[in-house]
Structure 1
Amino acid sequence: MNATYIQNSIAQLKTEIFMDVRHRTLQKYTGVPVIDENQLFYLLIPFLNGEEWQQEQQEAAITVGIVYAALAAHDHIKELDATSKEQQLTVLAGDFYSGRYYELLAMSGNVALIRSLSQGIVARCEHQIKVYEAEQRTKEQWYASMSTIESGLIAQFFALYSFSEYIPLIEKSLLILRLEREWTAYQRGQQMSLMGKALEESVRRNDATFNSVIQEKIVHLKTELLQLIEQASFLQSDIKQALHAHVEASIASTNG
């Protein structure tokens, strides 16, 4: 297996997701659905590693991708201005994608997947709501919330199909990527997410600098992730190399 095969697998899954949610008017005003290829890569890790992956798993993976697209559409709404045509259609796009994954789940009759993804969506939303609550939270609690938001649905999918050994890998990987996005926005003076701002406030309350704390956390997570990869006897050597490449690319982008 090489990088081209991996990229083609991601592209195929992405295309299948697009085909299930295509809508001419929505695409005209809001573009194609927002789908994070890093999430698709980690979603496909068991398949790329040679695990049993039948049509049911592929259809379930497509549904997970649509769920992420729906949630991303809602996340991209401007908090103070949802009055423009584009913003209103973005809301509708999120609702449309949500309707599509509900429809696909209902058609599949896969009650276990319905239950699993429903639990994942509830958990994700509960953690997103925490930024609006008055209770002060520690940075570790915010890290946990970010991890649930980024990887919780994939973890539910893995648990359902007996891929649980992959969960620690994707949790650390996707948390690293989320923290790097927040750190990059902070470094460039760009707007961070509400949760990123909450994390920054938590750090400042403890008389620490956001820059140093986040960099230290990222380095710590990457060290742990590399150890997990090396110790994962269930991973094929080429998948270990691909995961290493993702970490190294992440390191390069951060240092750059």
Structure 2
Amino acid sequence: MNATYIQNSIAQLKTEIFMDVRHRTLQKYTGLPVLDENQLFYLLVPFLNGEEWQQEEREAAITVGIVYAALAAHDHIKELNATSKEQQLTVLAGDFYSGRYYEILAMSGNVELIRSLSQGIVARCEHQIKVYEAEKRSIEQWFTSITNIESGLISKFFELYSFGNYIPMVEKSLLILRLERELSTYQSGQVSLMSNVLEESAKYAGATYGNVIQGKIVQLKTELLQVIEDASFLQSDVKQALKARVEASIASTNG
């Protein structure tokens, strides 16, 4: 397995997701659904590692991708101004994608998948709502919330299909990527709701935002490399591909 095979696998999954949610008017005004290739990569890791991956798992993975597309569409709406035609259609796009995954789930008759993803969506939304609440939370509590937001649905999928061994590396990987985005946004002088609450929690603990986030990223990368190294169930080429992603990120951070 090489980088080309990995990229082709991600591209194929994206195409299948796009085919299931295509809509001419929505695509004209809002573009294709927003899909995070890192999330799709980690969603596909069991498949890339040679796990049993029949049509049921494939269809379930596509559904998870559609769920993320629906949630991403709503996440991309400006918080205080959703009055433009494009923004209003983005809201509708999110609703449309939501309807499609409910329809696909209903047609599949896979009650366990319906239950699992429903629980995952509820948990994700609950964690996202916390950024609007006045309750003070520790920085570690926010890291837990971000982990759920970024990888909770993939974890639910893995639990359902007995891929639980992959959850720790996926959780750490996607948390690292989200923290790197938040840090980059903060350093560029921009503000997000999540960076606001992270900064407040860091100050409450007597630390600076940049030091706390950078320190957590370094810690997670060290832990992740060890998790990958210790994962005896991983094929050597998959293990190397996972390590390469972490090491490339480390080089980028140090550079």
> TM-score normalized by structure 2?
0.98
User: CA separation in 1, counterparts of 2:25 and 2:124?
Assistant: 29
Q: Secondary structure at the match of 1:44?
A: helix
Spell out the pairing of 1:114-129 with structure 2 (5 A cutoff).
114-129=114-129
Once the two structures are superposed, residues 105-140 of structure 1 have per-residue CA deviations (whole angstroms, 9 ceiling, x without a partner) of 001000000000000000000000111111100000
Q: Which runs of 5+ in 1 are unaligned?
A: none
**Contact kept in structure 2, 1:229 and 1:243, CA below 8 Å:** yes
Q: Secondary structure at the match of 1:78?
A: coil
Q: What is the CA-CA distance between 1:205 and the residue it aligns to? A: 1.7
Spell out the pairing of 1:23-62 with structure 2 (5 A cutoff).
23-62=23-62
Q: What is the CA-CA distance between 1:255 and the residue it aligns to? A: 3.5
Q: 1:221 is aligned with what amino acid?
A: L
**Contact kept in structure 2, 1:121 and 1:153, CA below 8 Å:** yes
Where in structure 1 do 4 or more consecutive aligned residues deviate above 4 Å?
Answer: none
**Contact kept in structure 2, 1:180 and 1:254, CA below 8 Å:** no
User: CA separation in 2, counterparts of 1:3 and 1:147?
Assistant: 26
Q: 2:196 is aligned with what amino acid?
A: K
Within the alignment, does 1:101 sit opposite 2:101 as a pair? yes
1:70 aligned partner? 70
1:17 aligned partner? 17
Q: 2:165 is aligned with what amino acid?
A: E
1:226 aligned partner? 225
**Contact kept in structure 2, 1:151 and 1:170, CA below 8 Å:** yes
Once the two structures are superposed, residues 66-93 of structure 1 have per-residue CA deviations (whole angstroms, 9 ceiling, x without a partner) of 0000000000000110110011000000
2:160 aligned partner? 160
Moved more, 203-212 or 102-111: 203-212
Q: What is the CA-CA distance between 1:254 and the residue it aligns to? A: 2.9
Q: 2:199 is aligned with what amino acid?
A: E
User: CA separation in 2, counterparts of 1:250 and 1:22?
Assistant: 33
User: CA separation in 2, counterparts of 1:196 and 1:222?
Assistant: 20
2:244 aligned partner? 245
User: CA separation in 1, counterparts of 2:26 and 2:201?
Assistant: 38
2:90 aligned partner? 90
1:143 aligned partner? 143
User: CA separation in 2, counterparts of 1:94 and 1:252?
Assistant: 36
2:170 aligned partner? 170
Q: Secondary structure at the match of 1:38?
A: helix
Q: Secondary structure at the match of 1:190?
A: coil
Q: Percent identity over the alignment?
A: 82
Q: Which runs of 5+ in 2 are unaligned?
A: none
Q: What is the CA-CA distance between 1:190 and the residue it aligns to? A: 2.0
User: CA separation in 1, counterparts of 2:254 and 2:50?
Assistant: 33
**Contact kept in structure 2, 1:158 and 1:164, CA below 8 Å:** yes
> TM-score normalized by structure 1?
0.98
Within the alignment, does 1:203 sit opposite 2:183 as a pair? no
User: CA separation in 2, counterparts of 1:202 and 1:255?
Assistant: 26
Q: 1:213 is aligned with what amino acid?
A: V
Q: What is the CA-CA distance between 1:250 and the residue it aligns to? A: 1.9
Q: 1:103 is aligned with what amino acid?
A: E
Q: 1:165 is aligned with what amino acid?
A: N
